[in-house]
Amino acid sequence: MKTNAYAAFQENGKIGPFQIERRTMGRRDVQLEIDYCGVCHTDLHFVNNDWGMTHYPVVPGHEIVGRISAVGKEVDGFKVGQLAAVGCMIDSCGNCHSCESDLEQYCFRGFVGTYNYPTADPGGVTYGGYSKRIVCKEDFILSIPENLKVEGTAPLLCAGITTYSPLKHWGVGPQRKVGIIGLGGLGHMGVKFSHAFGAYTVMITTSPEKGEDAQKLGADEILISTDVRAMARQSGQFDFILNTIPVNHSFEPYLNLLKINGVMCVVGAPEVFRINASQLVFGRKSLTGSLIGGIAETQEMLNFCGERDIVSDVELIRMDEINEAYDRLIKSDVKYRFVIDMNSLN
């Protein structure tokens, strides 16, 4: 099935029109006509081949929302016309310990990403949501609560679950003091979820001007990380810190904020560098990480968002505005996630 899309054709190249071939519908497949696709910083990394693993041409996009246009003969959980979504994964082995524990993102054999992963489909690699439609196994399709604003729902498929999962796993809730480092695509969702879970939520940022925005999102307090005295006063006060910074930085100032048995979870995938182990040893503190969430937990998150009316704050763009959006993304010039109106793609 021929499908219009946008792709990058070379390292650090511009995104432009491209036509892809979607596979023929299988018995357990679902076909989705894409209405909106979120723009993740990961998309830009793959376009630029920052991680040395891009297969060109690459069609990014793993925050996909639309309406179901066809279902396979054996599909029983979805129907034509239903609002649905595809996130960061479209397959996994299904029988390792992780998959059997609903943790497909930690599949022992490796999950199949929504784009740039080897596949038997036409083209030899998976193509993502910068396209008019996608065909996916029923097991990796998610249902969307109808009350949610659709364009604001798209980033929940990555930014949402990436922050929801660790906050839920480490028991964030009432009587817990939680820090969210960085007010970007991930960080603004971290603030919303931490607040919704009932925790005392502190936005930790280098930018004082972001304080007012953070409080509107649900932050109880703002901590400026460049203020040495303010950081010292908060030393040993936090139960949990969610670190969303995506670039290389020192963990040392933030680990000092943790209580005994406190946890800092990294979701921003910074570069590897030296850790001061004494900060962990003296206080039995934990430094850990988390990767998106499994399909069941992602559905749980979407249902939670439906109950609490939580969506991402987004700026809607046309498909042909993607290159300008990437330039602004590099400058952090967006509040807080770009979403492509895929109806603008002919």
Query: What is the DSSP code string of 220-269?
Result: SEEEETT-HHHHHHTTT-EEEEEE---S---SHHHHTTEEEEEEEEE-S-
| Vertex 313 angle, CA 309 and 314, to 5° | 125
Contact call for residues 342 and 66 (beta carbons, < 8 A)? yes
Q: How confident is the model at residue 1 (pLDDT cuts 50, 70, 90)?
A: confident
The band of 346, judged by pLDDT with boundaries at 50, 70 and 90, is confident
Give the mean model confidence (pLDDT) for residues 209-221: 91
Q: Which CATH number fits domain 2-158+293-344: 3.20.20.150, 3.40.640.10, 3.90.180.10, 3.40.50.1370?
A: 3.90.180.10
In this predicted structure, what is the pLDDT of residue 273? 65
Q: What is the pLDDT of residue 71?
A: 96
Burial letters for 142-179: b for 16+ Cβ neighbours within 10 Å, e otherwise? bbbeeebebbbbbbbbbbbbbbbbbbbebebeeebbbb
pLDDT at res. 123? 93
Q: How far is it, in rounded angstroms, from Cα 276 to Cα 274?
A: 7
- Confidence band (pLDDT; 50, 70, 90) for 67? very high
pLDDT reading at 210 higher than 90: no
Q: Which of 239, 168, 236, 243 is nearest to 203 (CA)?
A: 243
Q: Which two tokens stand for residue 188?
A: 């603004």
2-158+293-344 and 160-289 have identical folds: no
What mean pLDDT do residues 281-298 have? 95
Mean pLDDT within 61-72: 97
Question: What is the domain partition of the chain in residue ranges?
Answer: 2-158+293-344, 160-289
Confidence of residue 209 (pLDDT cuts 50, 70, 90): confident
pLDDT of residue 246: 81
| Confidence band of 250 (pLDDT split at 50, 70, 90) | confident
Query: What are the backbone angles phi and psi of residue 66, rounded to the nearest 5°?
Result: -170, -165
| Chain centre distance of CA 88 | 8
160-289: CATH, from 3.40.50.720, 3.90.1150.10, 3.30.70.1140, 1.10.10.10: 3.40.50.720
Residue 145 has a pLDDT of 95
β-partners of residue 3 are 20
Instruction: Give pLDDT, residue 270.
Output: 67
Please state which of the ranges 74-78, 114-118, 204-208, 239-243 shows the lowest mean pLDDT.
204-208
What are the DSSP E strand ranges found in 9-155? 15-21, 29-38, 64-71, 83-86, 89-91, 112-113, 133-137, 142-143
Which residues, at least 6 apart from 285, have a Cβ–Cβ distance to it below 8 Å?
255, 258, 260, 261, 262, 263, 264, 279
Q: How many CB atoms lie within 10 A of CB 324?
A: 12
Confidence (pLDDT) at 69? 97
pLDDT score of 88: 97
Dump pLDDT digits (tens) for 126-149.
999 999 999 999 999 999 999 999
